[in-house]
């Protein structure tokens, strides 16, 4: 669940106004695409949600946490309710598939038994059963991204946020991944995906929030065509 109200964000280092009075809300269980040209502020929105950066003004609620007022040491609490996925997967190179996923549970203090039960389950969910012992460099891009998705899912987050997760994949792998997100969404997890994949967005018919130059220019079900103004 995300609620943004008149959110503005300026990067102090460059003086760039990355977002200008952005407002929208995403309900529990929704599937939302976030689209827009390069430099429009999509990644900045994601960082506001995960608490990596703070807004200059406006109100942001993420899974019931007020992100404007939250203390730094409380950020882990918010992040435990989120699963984050990046374009470049960010796997730990010297850990195998199983350990990459189990790592996310270990570092938040999960019990050994829980880990032993949960990791195989999510690996099967993302279609990686049988690949547990492989190292990241022994996997295709699509497989590596599915490890990252398994890692994001393993702590049972309320919402998954993915920043261009298909950026390095071919169209067929991208579709597979989007269908996987749809499956996860059907199980109740909120999904927010930043993407440039016009055809996929149109084909899936989900809600699309389009931003340009730091502002929301359209928001609604339908597809990318809403945002053909480019």
Ligand X SMILES: Nc1ncnc2c1ncn2[C@@H]1O[C@H](COP(=O)(O)OP(=O)(O)OP(=O)(O)O)[C@@H](O)[C@H]1O
Binding site for ligand X (CB under 6 A): 11, 13-14, 16, 18, 36, 38-44
Nearer to ligand X, 8 or 16 (CB): 16
CB of 188 vs Mg ion, minimal distance in Å: 27
Looking at the chain, the number of H-run helices and the number of E-run strands are 7, 10
Q: Encoding tokens for residue 91?
A: 């796997």
Q: What is the largest CA-CA distance in the chain?
A: 53
Q: Which among 21-29, 31-39, 104-112, 179-187 is the span making contact with another protein, rule CB under 8 A?
A: 104-112
Nearer to ligand X, 38 or 137 (CB): 38
CB of 16 vs ligand X, minimal distance in Å: 4
Q: Encoding tokens for residue 6?
A: 């008149």
Q: Is 166 in the site for Mg ion (CB under 5 A)?
A: no
Give yes or no for a contact between 145 and 152, defined as CB atoms under 8 angstroms apart: no
Query: Residues 25-64 vs Mg ion: string with x where CB under 5 A?
Result: ------------------x---------------------
* CA 166 to chain CA centroid, nearest Å: 11
Nearer to another protein, 6 or 112 (CB): 112
Binds 18: which of another protein, ligand X, Mg ion, none (CB < 5-8 Å by kind): ligand X
Q: How far is CA 154 from CA 31, 65, 70, in A?
A: 19, 21, 25
CA 39 – CA 125 distance, rounded (Å): 34
């Amino acid at each position: 669940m995300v609620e943004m109200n008149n959110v503005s964000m300026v990067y102090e280092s460059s003086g760039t106004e990355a977002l200008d009075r952005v407002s929208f809300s995403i309900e529990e269980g929704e599937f939302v695409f976030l689209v827009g040209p390069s430099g429009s502020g999509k990644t900045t929105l994601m960082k506001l949600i995960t608490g990596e950066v703070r807004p200059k003004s406006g109100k942001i609620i993420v899974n019931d946490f007020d992100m404007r007022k939250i203390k730094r040491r409380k950020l882990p609490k918010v992040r435990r309710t989120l699963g984050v996925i990046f374009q470049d997967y960010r796997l730990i190179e010297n850990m195998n598939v199983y350990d990459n996923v189990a790592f996310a549970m270990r570092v938040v203090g999960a019990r050994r038994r829980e880990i032993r039960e949960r990791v195989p389950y999510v690996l099967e969910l993302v279609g990686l059963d049988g690949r547990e012992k492989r190292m990241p460099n022994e996997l295709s891009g699509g497989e590596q991204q599915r490890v990252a998705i398994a890692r994001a899912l393993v702590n049972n987050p309320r919402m998954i946020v993915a920043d261009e997760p298909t950026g390095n994949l071919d169209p067929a792998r991208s579709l597979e991944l989007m269908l996987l997100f749809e499956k996860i969404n059907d199980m109740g997890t909120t999904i927010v995906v930043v993407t440039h994949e016009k055809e996929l967005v149109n084909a899936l018919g989900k809600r699309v929030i389009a931003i340009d130059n730091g502002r929301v220019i359209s928001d609604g079900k339908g597809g990318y065509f809403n945002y053909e103004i480019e």
